Structure 1
Amino acid sequence: MTVAAVEEVVRLGGRPWWRLAGSGWVPAGVVLAAAVVVLLWCGVPVRDLVAFGGCVGLGVALPGTLLWRACTGGGRSLPEDLAAGLALGYAFEVLLYIPARAAGLPLLVAAWPVAVAGTFLAVPGLRRHWRGRAGRERMPWWCAWSLAGVAGYLLAFCARSLYRVPITDAYVDMPYHLALLGEVRNHVPPTLPSVLGERLSYHWFVYAEMAATSWVTGIEPLTLVYRLSTLPMMFAMVVLVAVLGRRLGGRWGAGVAAVGVTYFLFAPALREGVVFTSRSMFTVWASPTQTFGALLFAPVVLVLTARRPRGWTAAAVLLLALTGAKATFLPLLLTGLVFVLVVRLPVERRLRLEWVVPAAITFGCLLIAQFVVFGRGAQGTVVAPFATMRTLWGVVADVAPPALAAEPWGPVLVFVGLHLFCLVCVWGGVAALGGRLLDPEVLLPVGIGLAGIGAILVLGHPSDAQLYFLEGVRPYLSIAAVCGVVAALERRRVPWAVVAGAAGLGVAVAVVAARLEPPGGVLVRVLVPYLVLAGVAAGVLAFRRRGFALAVVALLAGYTGPTSLRETVVHVAPESWKRERLIPTGALEAGRWLRDHSSPGDVVATDLHCRNPVPRRTCDSRHFWVSGFTERRVLVEGWGYAESTLSRAELFVTPYLHVPFADQARLADNDAAFREPSARNVHRLAQKYGVKWLFTGINPALGKYAKLRFQNADSSVYELTTG
């Protein structure tokens, strides 16, 4: 906490309680207290909460805020400084941890906040940054409480969908995140822990942040991944969206509205299984890479929309961190900057450095990401026009690969139009920007948003990961849409009754359209409900009266109402996240025993490769809990997310979960030691692959050739001796 923050708290201490409610510190304190209660309720030790709070507050946010103020001159409000400072602090922490871990001195990362704080205390010219920018504005009390409500909702969402779910039943990717944290905690540069020697062509900097926190605080990696690490990132992102909305919309109401659209407005899904998605921001813990990348990216946009070159240093640091945090944001930003340059060139007749220089920095970071961090790997992403819609058509028409690849283009192109129409329902306010569309600070989020939509139209991925591009631009399209509505309201006075009536009409049309059962095939049944709305919207526009264009925007937004209500209230924890127990009860105990009795360089072999509880024709190879719980590299565990797997998956022909392991000889050697234990098979693992430990279920035959070191009801650990 900065000196200015302390002074604010002291000053508020003399106020009556009813005036304290008007301070932004009270809703922030309520959210913090609620988070503490929820985490304690979910089993997080008090010691871990105190250590984590101290690490994030004093070790990341404090030095980050000081550096943010020094690099940018400070924001317009204290919440802006703290949220952006947290993001910049994370960037510095990661970029310093990586060389420290590579040098074998991971605890050296603890020195940087001390060095920053000491410098800002010792250097007279830097001391003013403890107080922040003079004359900064205060966030209105109603805005602070609104944002606190959103943060509280997200906290409840996390509690219900993850914190209260047993670790053995959690979302399929959670052990994968845990395994990557264990890898980066012990090794830099990292490799894929579930496949020995496989290059890690994945965004891994968020795991470096978690690893640094684990080293400094002693908190278990499991607690960081499943409980703590993404919470401050999530809360700070809410603040940054509001700050950006306030800056571009000109008022705090626009900031609150931008947060509302970003988190709670969804594309209309009127039939079960037919989801023309606009994505959501609810991948908080399910995709920590997306959460971390979104947080690092928002202050970059904040700097660029402020149009102050002074902030380029902070933006450059954040972009450098993004190369390994979530590089998908880099092409989005580059496209947005190019969009600004192209649109402004006929107006200004020159290329302004305030856009050219950030574009050059972004392009350089994109090259670093592609050739250094990812080693030219694409993780299965390919140019495949309209792959997103073809996949959805396969779901709706019940057409599976490889037949899906031969499906005609007609239905796919119809789905393209419907998907774009659904996106207009959410972000139709962009069309109301009018003359503001030529403002560079508005052009940038619009360009970023168009890049995200373009990505889902032209790219494909075996697991539809191209949709993360759309999720990444969601806040910026939402901000642009809100700015459009604000601009329309400023140009002409529109009765609120007209706007509210149009929104209500949209809700009514959605309810009626969802119940229509038109005759015809599946394509007709999907198409008709959206045609009904299009007809109603055309009828409203036909009046050609002032303000009726804004009424159409409200009508379209109202059409999303039932879906938005269902997704945010009824289905807080989506059914797709509810999984049967596929991790044995004793797996965590066995994994931790092995971690505590082995060295980070030891190699483990296991016969556990498939999540399927019963052997099937195909293997769901997203099996990562052995490497996750042990924090050790495994000869062959799960290969579902390996570059060698995804690069061999052919879209609409061969699902990536049907792709066999790339090195069949290694897999055969590995499994032979467990299925046909013999001195030869077991010792081959030690001599040829350097395996020292065997992790399996109950397999007494292995005891003849390896030393049993640990066993419980469902897991066994054997050690290979050199004798």
Structure 2
Amino acid sequence: MALAPPESALAGPRVPSGRLGSGWVPAGVVCVGAVVVFLCCGVSVRDLTVFAAYIGIGVALPGTLLWRAFTGGGSSPAEDIAAGLALGYAVEVLAYLPARAAGVPLLVLVSPVAVIGTFACVPRLRRHWRGAVAGERMPVWCAWALAAVVGFLIAWSALALYGVPVTSAYVDMPYHLALVGEVRHHLPPTLPTVLGERLAYHWFVYAEMAATSWVTGIEPVTLVYRLSTLPMTAAMVVLVAVLGRRLGGRWWAGVASVGVTYLLVSPALRDGVEFTSRSMFTAWASPTQTFGALLFAPVVLLLVGGRRAWVVLGVLLAALIGAKATYLPLLLAGLLAVPAVRGVVERRLRAEWVVPAGLTAACLVVAHFVVFGQGAQGTAFAPFATMRTQWAGAGVALGVLTAVHLFCLACVWGGVAALGRRALDPPMLLLLGMGGAGVGAAVLLGHPSQSQLYFLEGVRPYLSVAAVCGVVSGPAGRRARWAVPACVAGAGAALLAEGFEVPGGPLTRVVVPYLVLGAGALLVWRRGFALVMVALLGGYAVPTSVREVIGRVVPADVVRVPSIPEGARAAGRWLRDHSSPGDVVATDLHCRPVRWPACDSRHFWVSGFSERRVLVEGWAYAESTLSRTELFGASYLMVPFADPGRLAANDAVFARPSAENVRHLAQKYGVKWLFTGINHRLDKFAQLRFRNATSSVYELSQT
């Protein structure tokens, strides 16, 4: 069975050689737009220039050269550059780890210098600077379509993050900043906001940002809040299109795959009620997910293309261990599905799938025992946890809610049902195996903050590609002509369902409209109109998707209340510049200034701005907190700190300052600095070193 469409199917239209007919024009337009956005949002020309130079020359260029050398290159320059950027990131992180451990982080530059120098000096490697001579170029219309998607993501990010003051940004941004500071100075890292707590988390993306900061001199806050995730996001868009093109055989299939991945979401027929298909709008909110998604995409490209470039595959999987280990069990499920099904069909076992499965399993073991220390960060086997969280108290209706959720997923990826016998092809089995594992994890696992849905988000691009391939594989004829009217009819039916009030309880009012729409799709399916059913399901999702897409780029009339004091950043920077990376800081700032029955301990900016380890700051994301949180009970934000004695000794210094309390903190816990608000009572027992309108920094004597 062929692993990919025949080469003749991959031949696409030639692109005019003129400048206006070049795919570089839309790429250039996007770059100019990004530059304008960043400049308007406070990024300096110097930082933009240095960042672009480092990512282009220090990461993407060596990665592209290595990708071409080990894999033979992709079918288009766009694929080589996007996959090369992913490989370059993986090499950068794996080079930074020993460099940081040796205390010389700038040694990370050895790898790009060595790669570029080797490919420049070795005659037989120089051809990889040009790429494949007969390579296919992306059609101009396709390049513009992908540029539009990237431009949309830039506009959304500008409204939601880039243009928002650091003091008012998304709640998790200081946490990401704190982890960059930790990996910038320490290896192995620990949780910087709780001294000595193991960092059982995906942290390689923070190593990438730390490496970039060391090389370029750019402040971590600029990288986290502005620059770093955009190249990852843009490259991921290209790789989804390339995968759709490769398996669909046409460039429009690649563009459609991107559209389904980023723009099509589950129908929400009632306000505030969402049976989610987990959108990709986590580009900056979850940099670990964004980084892991980018590293994972070339792995899938290699596997579905039949090219076993073992060195590249090993490097990418090794980087995934700490980038986003969520992808490893998903990949393993897909790799096991291929030989399991093909073994039944062909009655023999293919080693070409068993070997990467074994390599993936080994990486998964390393991730579990080495990176996460056997911690689960609160993830547990809890069937229907997503539904129970959405509709607490539904009880016996959990099965119905699960069916509705699966129906909503079918509205996005219903094209899978039209694959027919092509679903037995190894590439499709890989995608469907991963997709089934992602959906299964969302249904069977639970997490205090719904993080089990990242499994679903992780497989979203690959289910989208499979769904588009189902449409491509469908029969062309009289029945297919009904697809567009069916999509329009589906959109209209969804709008009617949204406005139709069903008598009964809240559960009935939510479930009945979905059941009616599902019955209509099932009727069409039973009559043999597979493509029409797919179009109908997609139509159901159109109204919600349009509102979601437009809503992301329409300025919202929202008053953003600062959660970080204006002087906090200056105080943190002073502390960083006048202390050593090994110094320990104590603070009485543990709770965010929001209304909450208990302490919302997602407080991380002291560590984030100072790049120093804190005795106790915020503990919400600590393994010791999440592991003690009971699912379906009180929020993890209600869980108190795991070590009450330490917290009491810490807070006593600020609430009841005395020479004895200060001495105890310094001698027992090694605290050297105090970071607080305005507390004049501390002036008698510690040396005031910095003060502004909102923050104070004190130094403690170690004797």
On whether the aligned pair clears a TM of 0.5, the verdict is yes
1:560 match: secondary structure: helix
8 Å contact from structure 1 (residues 171, 577) kept in 2: no
The aligned residue for residue 253 of structure 1 is 252
Pairing of 1:76-475 with structure 2 (within 5 A): 76-309=75-308, 311-394=309-392, 407=393, 409-475=395-461
The aligned residue for residue 586 of structure 2 is 605
Paired with 2:411 and 2:262, the residues of 1 have a C-alpha distance of 15
8 Å contact from structure 2 (residues 192, 613) kept in 1: yes
Return the offset for 1:315. 1.2
Return the offset for 1:454. 0.6
The aligned residue for residue 507 of structure 1 is 491
8 Å contact from structure 2 (residues 159, 555) kept in 1: no
Q: Deviations over 1:109-147 (max 9, x none)?
A: 012111001111222222221121231101111101100
The aligned residue for residue 566 of structure 2 is 585
The aligned residue for residue 634 of structure 1 is 614
Return the offset for 1:571. 4.0
The aligned residue for residue 5 of structure 1 is none
2:391 match: secondary structure: helix
Return the offset for 1:411. 2.0
Taking structure 1 as reference, are residues 467 and 613 closer, same or farther at Cα in structure 2, changes over 3 Å only?
A: closer
The aligned residue for residue 682 of structure 2 is 702
Paired with 1:210 and 1:638, the residues of 2 have a C-alpha distance of 22
Paired with 2:594 and 2:404, the residues of 1 have a C-alpha distance of 39
Q: Is 2:699 the counterpart of 1:719? A: yes
Return the offset for 1:581. 1.7
Paired with 1:371 and 1:336, the residues of 2 have a C-alpha distance of 22
Give ranges in structure 2 of 5+ residues lacking alignment.
1-14
**What letter corresponds to residue 163 of structure 2 in structure 1?**
R
Taking structure 1 as reference, are residues 279 and 575 closer, same or farther at Cα in structure 2, changes over 3 Å only?
A: farther
Q: Is 2:49 the counterpart of 1:50? A: yes
Taking structure 1 as reference, are residues 286 and 599 closer, same or farther at Cα in structure 2, changes over 3 Å only?
A: same
Q: Deviations over 1:294-335 (max 9, x none)?
A: 0000000000001122x1221111010000000000000000
87-96 or 343-352, larger mean C-alpha shift: 343-352
Return the offset for 1:534. 2.0
Paired with 1:422 and 1:438, the residues of 2 have a C-alpha distance of 24
Pairing of 1:511-530 with structure 2 (within 5 A): 511-530=495-514
1:267 match: secondary structure: coil
Give ranges in structure 1 of 5+ residues lacking alignment.
1-11, 395-406
2:697 match: secondary structure: strand
Q: Is 2:73 the counterpart of 1:74? A: yes
Return the offset for 1:494. 4.1
Q: Percent identity?
A: 69
The aligned residue for residue 677 of structure 1 is 657
8 Å contact from structure 1 (residues 246, 255) kept in 2: yes
2:386 match: secondary structure: helix
**What letter corresponds to residue 112 of structure 1 in structure 2?**
S
Return the offset for 1:638. 0.2
8 Å contact from structure 1 (residues 303, 312) kept in 2: no
Q: Is 2:551 the counterpart of 1:535? A: no
What's the TM-score, normalizing by structure 1?
0.93
Q: Is 2:671 the counterpart of 1:691? A: yes
**What letter corresponds to residue 78 of structure 2 in structure 1?**
P
CA RMSD of aligned residues (A): 1.6
Taking structure 1 as reference, are residues 554 and 576 closer, same or farther at Cα in structure 2, changes over 3 Å only?
A: farther
**What letter corresponds to residue 576 of structure 2 in structure 1?**
R
Taking structure 1 as reference, are residues 256 and 279 closer, same or farther at Cα in structure 2, changes over 3 Å only?
A: same
8 Å contact from structure 1 (residues 379, 646) kept in 2: yes
Return the offset for 1:617. 4.0
**What letter corresponds to residue 26 of structure 1 in structure 2?**
V
8 Å contact from structure 2 (residues 253, 469) kept in 1: yes
8 Å contact from structure 1 (residues 106, 212) kept in 2: yes
The aligned residue for residue 11 of structure 2 is none
**What letter corresponds to residue 62 of structure 1 in structure 2?**
L
Q: Is 2:6 the counterpart of 1:25? A: no
1:550 match: secondary structure: helix
Paired with 2:237 and 2:49, the residues of 1 have a C-alpha distance of 23
8 Å contact from structure 2 (residues 184, 210) kept in 1: yes
Q: Is 2:545 the counterpart of 1:560? A: no
Aligned residues: 689
